[in-house]
Amino acid sequence: MTEREYDGERGDAKPVQREVHRERSVDEPVDGPTDVRREVSHERVAGPEGTYETRREHVVVPSTADRQAATARRIQQVIAFVIGTIVVLLGIRFVLLLLGANQVSPFVQLIYGLTQPLTAPFQGMFGEPTLGASVIEWTSLVAIICYSLLGYGLHRLVDMIYKPVRVGAADEDSATSSRL
């Protein structure tokens, strides 16, 4: 790398040759929390005035709020995965019944066996109209709606538990209600 030094007038630039070696590394922690990151950078500059080295270290430690937010996101991902799997299985059950799938088929037996406990609380709520082998099972549709609402409620509950409390929000709410 070449840097220029300026002596005197602006036009009197003398080039000075310098050798600059930069090295940067990011260390992932071996012990302790996995979200702590350490960045170390070394710089060695050799020029006419001599050689010197600099070392900088930057440790990144997430705040408690960041860790809580990460925990909340992970819990919400698990909830979404579980509820999503249940809804997909119930949707497959509904389509298989609607199309009059053969109940001797191992796949159909698997889906019916997995989803029967999920639809049991909703059995008998509505009649099930049939047309030949096809069945419109309202129980599956009600279960899909109820489990989706349950997933949404759990998602919001995790938000309420892990969301940081804003200072002054309670004061603003009480001031608004006292004006009414």
Other Cβ atoms within 10 Å of 118 Cβ, number? 19
What is residue 57's predicted lDDT score, i.e. its pLDDT? 76
What is the rounded average pLDDT for all residues in the chain? 80
* Concatenated DSSP letters of 71-135: HHHHHHHHHHHHHHHHHHHHHHHHHHHHTT--TTSHHHHHHHHHHHHHHGGGTTSS---EETTEE
Domain assignment present for 180: no
pLDDT by residue (tens digit) across 94-152?
A: 999 999 999 999 999 999 999 999 999 999 888 888 888 899 999 999 999 999 999 99
Domain assignment present for 88: yes
Task: Indicate whether 18 and 96 sit together in one domain.
Answer: no
pLDDT by residue (tens digit) across 42-72?
A: 777 777 777 777 777 777 777 788 888 889 9
pTM for this model (two decimals): 0.63
What is residue 8's predicted lDDT score, i.e. its pLDDT? 47
Domain assignment present for 4: no
Task: Indicate whether 55 and 74 sit together in one domain.
Answer: no
What is residue 33's predicted lDDT score, i.e. its pLDDT? 55
39 within 8 A of 24, measured Cβ to Cβ: yes
Task: Indicate whether 101 and 29 sit together in one domain.
Answer: no
What is the rounded radius of gyration, in angstroms, for the C-alpha atoms of the chain? 32
Is the pLDDT at 93 greater than 60, yes or no? yes
Report helix, strand or coil for 163.
Answer: coil
Closest-CA residue to 127 (of 117, 118, 137, 119): 137
For residue 53 the two structure tokens come to 């080295």
Interval 8-26 mean pLDDT = 61
Domain that holds residue 27: 13-60
Cα torsion 153, 156, 157, 158 to 10°: value is 130
Interval 150-165 mean pLDDT = 91
